[in-house]
Amino acid sequence: MKRRAFIWLLGAAAAWPLSARAQMATSDSLLPSWNDGAAKQAIFDFVRATIDRASASYVLPEDRIAVFDQDGTLWVEHPMYTQVVYCLERVPALEKILAATLTGMSVEEFKTEAKKWLETAKHPRWNRSYTELAYQPMLEVLRYLRDNAYKTYIVTGGGQDFVRVYAGKVYGIPPEQVVGTAGGTKYGYGKDGKPFLTKEPKLILNDNNAGKPEGIHLMIGRRPYAAFGNSTGDRQMLEWTAAGAGERLKMLVLHDDAAREYAYGPAQGLPDTKIGVFTPALYEEAKKDGWTVISMKNDWKRIFAFE
């Protein structure tokens, strides 16, 4: 009898939707790096409202889309965007790279180059790989949303081809779910007759500011239910998300923790560092329109996995 009951329980557990299991887990086990507070609560409220079939805001699993800015939202952007560091550190080879790009650097070569650099480059403050500097609380949000059938996208002002190199390993996000600033490519044939794609110096999508909703339309084709950002470059993406019907989650990360990471705004009297600018006007828009501002200092128990 015991064994039969156990088997029945196993079967029942298997039949129980994953989303319901996620919902029933304690909030501590779901987002362990978050302190209790309005930000954590906003995430839980949103997920519950959109996965509960009885809710007026229920969203079909196949319609669940969440978008995340990368620099400053998913990982560190100070003292300088990682991609800019990549370009600067490549200066000795830069002329060659530029020449190669213009005369036929293939998308495969670019991928290999960028991957190689990421494997050895270190952030000056923590002396760790850039790929270790993803924010642990955001990694938990990505997983929590995916466990509840949300398809998670990166929508970044950074280079699409660059971010795609590591997005799988760092965030569990496949290349086709990375939308970023993108240049054109040109199809051609090598001497061996094999086809290849060459990176072209032609801008197709400037995925910043208004370019974010435009990029979302081009690459995803529907409006997200959740959007996460940290700067004025994310404003239109959050507005576009907010303008949809039903429950929508709009969150902005505020970098107010100089001790554990960096402090910059200039919202809330924080220093204006020109990188990842969060203006007082954006802060006002967030407050007025019910977007949630995440305080790194108060809302995050820890910042990085290695802490």
Name the site residues for a second copy (rule: CB under 8 A): 4, 7-8, 10-11, 14, 62, 107, 151, 160-161, 164, 174-176, 178, 182, 184-187, 194-197, 204-205, 210, 213-214, 217-222, 236, 239-240, 243
Do strands 65-68 and 226-229 pair parallel, antiparallel, or not at all (unpaired)? parallel
Give yes or no for a contact between 153 and 177, defined as CB atoms under 8 angstroms apart.
Answer: yes
Nearer to a second copy, 39 or 118 (CB): 118
CB–CB of 237/69 below 8 Å?
yes
For residue 81 the two structure tokens come to 């965007």
Q: Is the Cβ of residue 33 or residue 231 nearer to a second copy in the bound state?
A: 231
Least distance (Å) between residue 265 CB and a second copy: 24
Shortest Å, Cβ 168 to a second copy = 8
State in angstroms the smallest separation of the CB of 209 from a second copy.
8
235 alpha-carbon distance from chain centroid: 15
Contact (CB, 8 A) for 225 and 204: no
Shortest reach from residue 226's CB to a second copy, in Å: 15
Report the nearest approach of a second copy to the CB of residue 86 (Å): 18
| Three-state SS letters, 178-209 | EEEEEEEEEEEECCCCCEEEEEEEEEEECCCC
In the complex, the smallest distance separating the C-beta of residue 295 from a second copy, rounded to whole angstroms, is 27
Instruction: Give 158's contacts (C-beta < 8 A, 6+ positions apart).
Output: 70, 71, 81, 82, 83, 180, 181
Lookup result for tokens 């998300």 = 241
278-285, long-range: CB < 8 A, 24+ apart: 278/230, 278/231, 278/232, 278/252, 278/254, 279/232, 282/231, 282/232, 282/235, 282/252, 283/254, 285/235
Closer residue to a second copy (CB): 31 or 67: 67
- Whose Cβ is closer to a second copy: residue 90's or residue 151's? 151
Q: Which is nearer to a second copy, 218 or 275 (CB)?
A: 218
Question: Which residue lies nearer to a second copy by CB, 97 or 242?
Answer: 242
Instruction: Tell me how far, at minimum, the Cβ of 278 lies from a second copy, in Å.
Output: 20
**SS3 assignment for 54-65:** CCCCCCCHHHCE
CB atoms within 10 A of CB 114: 20
> Which residues, in sequence order, are bridge partners of residue 156?
180
For a second copy, the closer of residues 65 and 303 by Cβ is: 65
Cβ distance to a second copy smaller for residue 28 or 284: 284
How near is the Cβ of 177 to a second copy at its closest, in Å? 8
